[in-house]
A and B are shown apart, each in its own frame.
Chain A
Amino acid sequence: MLRHATAPDSTQPLDPGSCGPRTGLRLQHIRAALFAVALAFMAGGCSRSGGPEASPQGSGVNLSTVPPSAYPLPAAADAARFLNQASFGATEAEVNKVRTYGYSAWLEDQFFMPGRSHEAYINTVSASLAPGQSLDDSHVMNTFWREAATGQDQLRRRVAFALSQIFVVSLQDSTVSEFKRGVASYLDMLGRNAFGNYRQLLDEVTLHPMMGLYLSHLRNRKEDPARNRVPDQNYAREVMQLFSIGLYELNPDGTPRLVGGQPVETYDSGDIVGLSRVFTGFSWAGPDKSDTRFFGGGMQDPDREVLFMQSYPSFHSISEKRFLTAVIPAGTNADPDGDLRIALDTIASHPNVGPFISRQLIQRLVTSNPTPAYVARVAQAFDAGRYTSGLWSTGTGQRGELRATVAAILLDPEARTAARLADPGFGKVREPILRTAHWMRAFNASSASGNFLLGVTDDATASLGQSAMRSPTVFNFYRPGYVPPNTSIATAGLVAPELQIVNEVSVVGYSNFMRSAVQNGLGSGSPRDIQPDYTAELALADNADLLIDRVSLLLTAGSMSAATRMIIRDAVNSVAMPATNQTTARQNRVRLAVFFTLSSPEYLVQK
């Protein structure tokens, strides 16, 4: 019934037992992960029994019975605006669904919507490679675009993409890039936890081998004073600075807590040293815990890149571990799993986590500069594990629940009230990936191969200057606190993260990329693999205003200004409708409307 219902994957066999991180129950905490897999990918994901990747069915949620939120059924423009925050971009079908059932029903539906596995996609590709061919980064990009464009579990995808920009691993790292399947599995893991609990997410992020490689705690050894060797501190530092609590103590509204007018640091070098000892003695999974396996040699488990790391007690520090509020005394028996549990419990229970994570998720989904009150309301939902709007309520009541957090972000008055649109500091610059995915969705792009063969788009000169899962560093493509120097934004005291990758080069690359995409489609092949379907727009092409109405609704949630509309109308009307060969004229009129809108600053800022 969905316009973007996914194509059956039953022809794509899933290698039995190759599901994204599974461990054969080697570690206790993985059982919870498997349970989450079962919930999240009920019909489409991985299962130990293997078999074909089944075609995902609907969520099973009866939309008519979901209690209404505090908001009335939205008009089309409001629904589109909501979808631009909650998905990879509005489509006609989803707009109609939100209008018909309301926000809460759409969210409830999405919370239980099954989806396809990136790892299964990679496995399928891998199995079909000709001799001498190997996986490359493009394959990870392909499955990302396929799901961004056509996945029915859009909210999960959008939140997972947001999480991938907080809990960063990157194919730009030469070690990580050897493991395309591992990176696909990491992205699956983020999606699986997108509506789960933060503590579980932190656990799986920490133990995923791609993170272990990226932040080098995989095969990290305990100290050896005789050789002046200490544990690698990389993960200990970044897990606190970037994935959980940040550098300074926060108030519940996300503002720094000041003591004597000064911010208070959350940790110092001593905490890093203490915590670094926890992250020792973890390495590749496999059927044994031999030293050779720890160092990555010998007979490697063929699935090691998608299996959570396992502990190797002989490499785990038994020294005292003092960090934050925790002290793990020196012992005689190494207990890597026990120490890890204490460490992640300690970090996850820090009061900073709610505001720290909430604010960044708001920035990724809704607006770059949320008011402290908005952050506080979302952090409250994070802490309470529950969110209520009108008669609708969601969440288990467990602290750290991301389902309640996401609902709180999207249904907050600051996200929903149209009055905010007039605030000159409201909204966020759309990042290039979101713009491109939105174009695919708004115009029902389809892939001739079914595989969405658009590869790496790093090159800012000729493409997007951004590729999913290819951040330059663990600090993401841009920082949440980025202030573009010498601008009215800086003067106003605001941040604009996405502007960190907007520059004199990137504006050229994007414009030229889109000019070509709008006319020729995207991706490899000739004709290009990914083609838009402008059928509905072509039907309106004789009337510039009707055409612009439709494009404006889908791309700008109907917010196009009169001045912009006038420029676009003139451009569309500059292509006269001839007596003959009207098809070409109509095509060019549609291309002008779409390309102009996609290039307009009003579109480039999601509001």
Chain B
Amino acid sequence: MRASRRHFLKTASLMSMAGVAGPFALNLAAIGAAAAQTAPGYRAIVCLFLYGGNDHTNTLIPYDQPSYDQYFAARDTIAIARDQLAATATGAVASQGGREFAFHPALTSFKTRWDEGKLAVVANVGPLIVPTTVAQYNARSVPLPPKLFSHNDQQSVWQAQAPIGEGAKLGWGGRIGDLLAGQNANVQFTCISAGGNAVFLSGQNVIQYQVGSSGPVAISGISGTLYSSASASAAYRNLITGTSANLFENELGVVTNRSITSNQLLSASLPPASTFPLPNPTSNLASQLNVVARIISARSAIGANRQVFLVSLGGFDNHDFLLTQHTQQLTIANAAVNAFYGWLVQMGVQNDVTIFTASDFGRTLTSNGDGSDHGWGSHHFVLGGSVLGHEIYGTFPPTAFGTSVDIGQGNMMPGIAVDQYAATFARWLGVSDTDVPLVVPNVVNFGTSRYLPFL
């Protein structure tokens, strides 16, 4: 195992250097050794990162009367009224002892996908290094994720493995990309962010490609006439892509070069944005998903078989104005994700693409008067034609204080590790069982439950 792993890395490393010279150099044949991890057809995952720490308690709300009463008693003025929840209620969920739940009233399309069996809930997931109890947390007797409750660090911890926290360099989306890039003709289109710079997509070899929500745009100065000079544009391209002994200057040239070569490839292949009409209300998130759909649509033209995408929506740090602002953001997410799923169906790839949510952390069950504060475990959604939906995976804890998972203020000790969540996507994309720990090293601490059964 080790030897073949090193061989793969070495190959990919050589490849990525070759990639600078010619983007088509990285083809499947040239990297045959790594292509062992192959599943047929096209597959992609799309991470929807909710920046700020989504208030999970008001995202999936206990609905049967006793559970709702518990929720209402705990949440004071930031509880959603029960009569607003009838339309998005799930009905009894057998795996949760017959309890009923309701999606936030804005998440109407999530409820529709649930009913169709295309959407699953993963309850109380969060960063863990080993399975941990509240007693172990209080005693600090097991290794814990560092800098809990801090935004930037927990974003990193959710997205990346090492080193943990701000300054992380290896995200699990990127590590999946490392292992599967051999199946793509153009490695640079393996890990793509339409939602800004995210360490999630940084691998050891694979580099995150960032694309704007309006799609690829060209540097005008590298072609045609520049300030009346016919020859200057070629010189300009040399200037802005040049190498330097200064590391920062050099990196600017590297990024610019990657931008130019990727743009030329993509802009020749992508269908127009209007192929996938934006929803109402539209949003930047909808535009991000629009460009993702355009890239998926061009998968054959760019030789992509395995892809990892990231899109993002901010505005979830609702210390204040929780009821109004959370509703606004979930309304945006609902419309954008609904439209995206429709585009997948339009392309006939709804079984080949899985969307999932992630966020900095969950939030406190306690109210601070008008909002909630930073927490830990959180509920998340997985959506797609291959998802075994209409189910809640894991245990949805009672929405109350003093439960077996309450570490204070109703913050939940996660019952499911991000590594298990991630491992499930990695395996679905085609990473072998033996290589999954290369993506999420701590998954080995979770015994036989490395994967969750939603995919």
Q: Which residues of A does B touch, CB under 8 Å? A: 174-175, 215-216, 219-221, 227-234, 237, 241, 247, 269, 272, 368, 424-429, 460-462, 472-475, 479, 481-490, 492, 494-496, 499-505, 507-509, 511-512, 515, 519, 563-564, 567-568, 570-571, 574-575, 584-585, 588, 591-592, 595-596, 599-602, 604-605, 607
Let me know if A500 and B197 touch, CB within 8 A.
yes
**What's the least CB distance linking B232 to chain A, in Å?**
4
A selection of 24 A-B contacts at a CB cut-off of 8 Å is A233-B374, A234-B317, A237-B374, A247-B150, A269-B148, A368-B248, A425-B248, A479-B152, A479-B166, A481-B167, A485-B168, A487-B247, A487-B254, A488-B247, A496-B248, A504-B259, A507-B259, A515-B226, A571-B236, A585-B228, A588-B228, A592-B232, A600-B239, A605-B252
Of B77, B151, B365, the most chain A CB neighbours within 10 A belong to B151
A204 to B30, CA, bound (A): 61
**What's the least CB distance linking A371 to chain B, in Å?**
16
Let me know if B250 and A485 touch, CB within 8 A.
no
Let me know if B197 and A501 touch, CB within 8 A.
yes
Which residues of chain B are near A507, meaning CB under 8 Å? 219, 240, 252, 255-256, 259
**What's the least CB distance linking B146 to chain A, in Å?**
9
Let me know if A599 and B221 touch, CB within 8 A.
yes
The one of A233, A483, A567, A607 that contacts B169, using a Cβ cutoff of 8 Å: A483
The one of B227, B239, B255, B369 that contacts A564, using a Cβ cutoff of 8 Å: B239
A247 to B147, CA, bound (A): 8
Asked if B126 is at the interface of the complex by the 8 Å CB criterion, the answer is no
The one of B167, B203, B245, B371 that contacts A216, using a Cβ cutoff of 8 Å: B371
Let me know if A502 and B252 touch, CB within 8 A.
yes
Of A473, A489, A571, the most chain B CB neighbours within 10 A belong to A571
Which residues of chain A are near B368, meaning CB under 8 Å? 220-221, 229-233
- The interface bits of chain B over 201-239 (1 if a CB of A lies within 8 angstroms of the residue's CB, else 0) are 011111111111110011111000011111110011011
Sample of 15 further A-B pairs with CB below 8 A, known A232-B369, A500-B197, A599-B221: A473-B51, A475-B151, A479-B152, A483-B168, A488-B250, A505-B210, A505-B211, A505-B217, A507-B252, A507-B256, A574-B232, A575-B229, A585-B228, A604-B252, A607-B246
**What's the least CB distance linking B136 to chain A, in Å?**
16
Asked if B251 is at the interface of the complex by the 8 Å CB criterion, the answer is yes
Asked if B408 is at the interface of the complex by the 8 Å CB criterion, the answer is yes
**What's the least CB distance linking B241 to chain A, in Å?**
9
Interface-forming stretch among B108-116, B319-327, B380-388?
A: B319-327
A446 to B316, CA, bound (A): 41
Of B226, B253, B408, the most chain A CB neighbours within 10 A belong to B226
Let me know if A504 and B263 touch, CB within 8 A.
yes
Which residues of chain A are near B210, meaning CB under 8 Å? 503-505
A511 to B237, CA, bound (A): 11
A511 to B218, CA, bound (A): 10
**What's the least CB distance linking A517 to chain B, in Å?**
12
The one of B150, B197, B239 that contacts A237, using a Cβ cutoff of 8 Å: B150
Let me know if B227 and A234 touch, CB within 8 A.
no
Known pairs A234-B373, A564-B239, A600-B239; A595 contacts B221 (CB<8 A)? yes
Nearest A residue to B193 via CB reads: A503
Let me know if B319 and A602 touch, CB within 8 A.
no
Asked if B249 is at the interface of the complex by the 8 Å CB criterion, the answer is yes
7 nearest interchain CB pairs?
Answer: A485-B202, A601-B249, A504-B259, A232-B368, A503-B210, A216-B319, A216-B320
A232 to B361, CA, bound (A): 17
Let me know if B174 and A485 touch, CB within 8 A.
yes
- How many A-B residue pairs have C-beta atoms within 8 angstroms? Tell me: 250
Let me know if A574 and B367 touch, CB within 8 A.
no
Let me know if A483 and B248 touch, CB within 8 A.
no
The one of A237, A424, A485, A486 that contacts B245, using a Cβ cutoff of 8 Å: A424
**What's the least CB distance linking A419 to chain B, in Å?**
14
Known pairs A486-B204, A512-B219; A232 contacts B320 (CB<8 A)? yes
A563 to B235, CA, bound (A): 12
The one of B73, B196, B206, B227 that contacts A519, using a Cβ cutoff of 8 Å: B227
**What's the least CB distance linking A200 to chain B, in Å?**
26
Nearest B residue to A215 via CB reads: B319
Which residues of chain A are near B369, meaning CB under 8 Å? 219-221, 229, 232
Known pairs A229-B367, A567-B238; A511 contacts B229 (CB<8 A)? no
Asked if B262 is at the interface of the complex by the 8 Å CB criterion, the answer is yes
**What's the least CB distance linking B301 to chain A, in Å?**
19
Known pairs A592-B232, A595-B221; A502 contacts B255 (CB<8 A)? yes
Let me know if B262 and A504 touch, CB within 8 A.
yes
Which residues of chain B are near A592, meaning CB under 8 Å? 226-227, 229, 232
Let me know if B74 and A228 touch, CB within 8 A.
yes
Asked if B199 is at the interface of the complex by the 8 Å CB criterion, the answer is yes
Let me know if B239 and A515 touch, CB within 8 A.
no
Which residues of chain A are near B197, meaning CB under 8 Å? 500-501, 503
Known pairs A489-B248, A574-B229; A232 contacts B169 (CB<8 A)? no
Which residues of chain B are near A220, meaning CB under 8 Å? 368-369
Nearest B residue to A272 via CB reads: B149
Asked if B271 is at the interface of the complex by the 8 Å CB criterion, the answer is no
Asked if B314 is at the interface of the complex by the 8 Å CB criterion, the answer is yes
**What's the least CB distance linking B165 to chain A, in Å?**
9
Let me know if B220 and A515 touch, CB within 8 A.
yes
Which residues of chain B are near A215, meaning CB under 8 Å? 319
Which residues of chain A are near B228, meaning CB under 8 Å? 575, 584-585, 588
Asked if B366 is at the interface of the complex by the 8 Å CB criterion, the answer is yes
Which residues of chain B are near A595, meaning CB under 8 Å? 221, 226-227, 236
The one of B166, B206, B254, B366 that contacts A229, using a Cβ cutoff of 8 Å: B366
Of A215, A231, A234, the most chain B CB neighbours within 10 A belong to A234
Which residues of chain A are near B244, meaning CB under 8 Å? 601-602
Known pairs A232-B368, A592-B232; A511 contacts B240 (CB<8 A)? yes
Let me know if B242 and A563 touch, CB within 8 A.
yes
Which residues of chain B are near A229, meaning CB under 8 Å? 76, 366-369
**What's the least CB distance linking B235 to chain A, in Å?**
5
Asked if B401 is at the interface of the complex by the 8 Å CB criterion, the answer is yes
- The interface bits of chain B over 142-171 (1 if a CB of A lies within 8 angstroms of the residue's CB, else 0) are 000001111111000000000000111111
Known pairs A507-B256, A599-B239, A599-B240; A475 contacts B250 (CB<8 A)? no
A174 to B327, CA, bound (A): 14
